Amino acid sequence: MMCDFLFSLVCTGEIFELKAELNSDKKEKKKEAVKKVIASMTVGKDVSALFPDVVNCMQTDNLELKKLVYLYLMNYAKSQPDMAIMAVNTFVKDCEDPNPLIRALAVRTMGCIRVDKITEYLCEPLRKCLKDEDPYVRKTAAVCVAKLHDINAQLVEDQGFLDTLKDLISDSNPMVVANAVAALSEIAESHPNSNLLDLNPQTINKLLTALNECTEWGQIFILDCLANYTPRDDRESQSICERVTPRLSHANSAVVLSAVKVLMKFMEMLPKDLDYYGTLLKKLAPPLVTLLSAEPELQYVALRNINLIVQRRPEILKHEMKVFFVKYNDPIYVKLEKLDIMIRLASQANIAQVLAELKEYATEVDVDFVRKAVRAIGRCAIKVEQSAERCVSTLLDLIQTKVNYVVQEAIVVIKDIFRKYPNKYESVIATLCENLDSLDEPEARAAMIWIVGEYAERIDNADELLESFLEGFHDESTQVQLQLLTAIVKLFLKKPTETQELVQQVLSLATQDSDNPDLRDRGYIYWRLLSTDPVAAKEVVLAEKPLISEETDLIEPTLLEELICHIGTLASVYHKPPSAFVEGSRGVQHKRLPGSSAAGVSEAPPAVIPSQGDLLGDLLNLDLTPPTTTGPPPPASSGMQMGAMDLLGGGLDSLVLLCDPQMGTGFGAPPAAMPASFNVPVSGGLDDLFDLGVSLEIPNKMIFVSVQVWLPAMKAKGLEISGTFVRRAGVIQMEMTLTNKAMSVMTDFAIQFNRNSFGLAPAGPLQVLTPLSPNQSIEAALPLSTVGPVMKMEPLNNLQVAVKNNIDVFYFSCQYPISMLFAEDGKMERQVFLATWKDIPNDNESQFQIKDCHLNSDAASNKLQGSNIFTIAKRTVEGQDMLYQSMKLTNGIWVLAELRVQAGNPNYTVSTICLVLEICRIIN
């Protein structure tokens, strides 16, 4: 921006020159000058200073010059609304020009000058133009109503333009009809309940007639509008379908896709035994296949849509498998989509071909593609039972290649195959175990651990294998830790004699040394189970698991229905409802297929694997659901508030202790010191001291703030970030848990802060090295420095953060506790303290009370020292203890405080004083 600024400064000379040329008498010179102005505008130079001079050129009969001036006006009118009024007269005059091209140009441009003041002048000319004799002017005026509505909706309604627009649907010219439809559809979107586009059989008939005659773009507008109509009965539905099907042969892919949308929707209303229904199904396949010979970008859009169509009506394309075979030169985004559809179309009839192809793909170069191909082989095995054996042997072949990511991906899918066909392919376990060391991705490690735990009785050295993972327990990701815990418990239940030590080790690691609530919870639950009733434990942990469903990665039925209504649009490309990416009221209304409620019941919804949040599922260790599942998003267990944790932890704890005497199963008593080692804020009254949720009870100089969800998954395409700020040994850290609740892998994380009051900035890059798979969370600690750029924020401790990943950039803001910024060297010399206290004007003092604190002054001072608030002196006056304290912020600002403690009165009075008033406030 700085650069641009300099640039425009340098050009001041040029601007004077242009000014002279613009005011020249010669037409040619004028035109050249305007061209130069537009050229500068394009490259981003600021030429708004020339506004009056350019507007002066507007009154000309040279159409080209006029267009240039209009272009300039559209760009700068908004920044100079008062000047823009100067142009109004010319516009009004141009709207009455005998040349229709000029009339249209004027009305088109006026709509683009988005200045509120101008709109009232626009109404009269617009009204005339809507009734113009020339269709070119009318079609332009129709769009202009939409423009005006965007600036001032009320005005459009008051002036009755909407009715005029409705009349245009019956216009004799097809293009006018198309534009009127487009404008009405857009306006209707922002008034969901207005019934503006009052579609009835008569209007539908008009639209269908215009459909045959208008431009390709007009056909798209009309088809998209038709898709919003709900026919009254199957007969009407069929007759519309009959008139829409010819569009499937249009050269424009968008026309084809929009026609497909109309047909897919209206087909719902046709009885399935109707001959026409079958004919229609047959007619749909060829055009869809033809879309695949379009340009790659369109292929991508088509493939994303075909993916939806195949899920809704698999019968349409079931014989077309071959066209989805990947070509070597396809762009990667086309390859990945084709692969997806191949799996959806895989059936017993074509599985051999599909497998041969997939094996071929698994040797390609692009890592993502290869992974997906390997995963696809696994999915085929689950989908087509007859092919399972072939798939497994193919996967084993791939494991032999020793290519790291292929091996890992193969192990992940083999785990799913075991789930689907228990006790069938265990012979391959030996081969899998050979590759134990090469696994470095959490998902693969977790899968391998699951396999070892599940088949512990058949693996002789299962305990050794699991023990080897245990060494680095704390460095593992949560997914692996949880899995390891479960696997060892399973092992113990299967071979209790030799694995006691191991199980104790893992339980204590999980419950005592971990600060992950999920892990601790699960640890305690197992511990209690094992200690109270080993038989019940066996029943719970080794219970038979429900089989996983055949179809994975299905879009949830109601969402699918909605997406079918959006075929061809962005929603169908993203596979998300419009409300997920469109701001404001537009597109918020949910579209549904007609008569779908009946259809929905008849087709049994596919059994979806229980998802992570399910407690019972958890105990049954079903958390290793294939990442391809689309269950409802698990509740934010990781974002659980610490307070709740405390209750649970404490409660469990006492229960465990109660059970203690009965422990005859060879269990040692859980360590008595357990509660103390919790890093949970014990709710002492001092909690409230700084009103920011700071608790000061933590022994090892740690300041804790409860974990908050900073970035909910809904706002960030499935990425959830929760976290807290911590000061550990003088280093401020931002501890975050990133959870992937989307359905695709997230990679390339980066973080950046906006300038803030205390110059907080990341001291290093965000350490999220491994890709974050769906339903996985990862913890990351980001050390912060305080030497970044400074800008005052409101409130002072506000921090705006941007997190980037492969999907997008997300913004959130959070507030950090100011106490985090208290430096260790915040102890002031007595003399200095006294002098400073006097220097600071009284106005800068602020007072507040802390209620219900039952600590005496010494204890309080000790506690406070823990968070770098140092007591300099203590005075006792009339039974009141006065503590004088100092703290220093990282940016060198001192804060002095006086804390009055009256014996017997649980309320403290604190006066803080500081040079900077605002800091006083925030500290309070």
Q: Residues 797 to 856: which contact another protein by CB under 8 A?
A: 800, 802, 804, 806-809, 811
784: DSSP letter: E
What six digits make up the tokens of 462? Answer: 């299962």
Distant-in-sequence, close-in-space partners of 217: CB < 8 Å, separation ≥ 6: 178
Distant-in-sequence, close-in-space partners of 554: CB < 8 Å, separation ≥ 6: 311, 560, 606, 608, 630
- Residue 203's CB is within 10 A of a number of other CB atoms, namely 17
Based on CB atoms, which residue is closest to another protein, 8 or 868?
8
d(CA 390, CA 174): 58
Give me the least distance between CB of 191 and another protein, in Å please.
15
Site string for another protein, 364-393 (x = CB under 8 A): xx----------------------------
Based on CB atoms, which residue is closest to another protein, 308 or 694?
308
**Residues in region 397-416 near another protein by CB under 8 A:** 401-403
Give me the least distance between CB of 159 and another protein, in Å please.
18
Residue with tokens 């046709």: 270
Based on CB atoms, which residue is closest to another protein, 16 or 581?
581
Distant-in-sequence, close-in-space partners of 546: CB < 8 Å, separation ≥ 6: 609, 610, 622
Cβ(707)–Cβ(642) below 8 Å? yes
| Residue type for position 144 | C
User: Is 761 in a helix, a strand, or coil?
Assistant: strand
Based on CB atoms, which residue is closest to another protein, 220 or 456?
220
Give me the least distance between CB of 15 and another protein, in Å please.
20
771 contacts another protein (rule: CB under 8 A): no
User: Is 848 in a helix, a strand, or coil?
Assistant: strand
275 contacts another protein (rule: CB under 8 A): no
Based on CB atoms, which residue is closest to another protein, 247 or 863?
247
Give me the least distance between CB of 245 and another protein, in Å please.
6
Size of the site for another protein (CB under 8 A): 120
**Residues in region 88-117 near another protein by CB under 8 A:** 98-101, 104, 108, 111-112, 114
Return left, alpha or beta for 575; rule: phi > 0 is left, psi -120 to 50 is alpha, else beta.
Answer: left
Per residue in 217-249, is it b (16+ CB within 10 Å) or e — as a string?
ebbbbbbbbbbbbebeebebbbbbbebbbebbe
Site string for another protein, 149-178 (x = CB under 8 A): -x----------------------xxxx--
585 contacts another protein (rule: CB under 8 A): no
Q: Whose CA is closest to 651, among 524, 505, 516, 513? A: 524
325 contacts another protein (rule: CB under 8 A): yes
572 contacts another protein (rule: CB under 8 A): yes
Based on CB atoms, which residue is closest to another protein, 62 or 865?
62
Site string for another protein, 31-70 (x = CB under 8 A): ----x--xx--xxx-----------------xxx--xx-x
Q: How far is CA 673 from CA 508, 511, 512, 676, 678, in A?
A: 12, 12, 10, 6, 9
**Residues in region 276-295 near another protein by CB under 8 A:** 286-287, 289-290, 293, 295
Residue with tokens 């400074």: 790
Cβ(100)–Cβ(134) below 8 Å? yes
Q: Which stretch binds another protein (CB under 8 A): 449-457, 556-564, 576-584, 699-707?
A: 576-584
Site string for another protein, 125-154 (x = CB under 8 A): ---------xxxx-xx--xx-xx--x----
Q: How far is CA 452 from CA 55, 484, 529, in A?
A: 79, 10, 22
426: DSSP letter: G
301 contacts another protein (rule: CB under 8 A): yes
Q: Which stretch binds another protein (CB under 8 A): 353-361, 664-672, 680-688, 908-916?
A: 353-361
258 contacts another protein (rule: CB under 8 A): yes
Based on CB atoms, which residue is closest to another protein, 220 or 502?
220
Site string for another protein, 209-248 (x = CB under 8 A): ---xxxxxx--xx--x------------------x-xxx-
Cβ(68)–Cβ(34) below 8 Å? yes
**Residues in region 710-739 near another protein by CB under 8 A:** none
Distant-in-sequence, close-in-space partners of 613: CB < 8 Å, separation ≥ 6: 632, 633, 634, 635, 637
Residue 726 phi, psi (nearest 5): -140, 145
Position among 582, 655, 823, 893 found at the interface with another protein (CB under 8 A): 582
Cβ(685)–Cβ(654) below 8 Å? no
Position among 363, 461, 849, 907 found at the interface with another protein (CB under 8 A): 363
Give me the least distance between CB of 285 and another protein, in Å please.
8
338 contacts another protein (rule: CB under 8 A): no
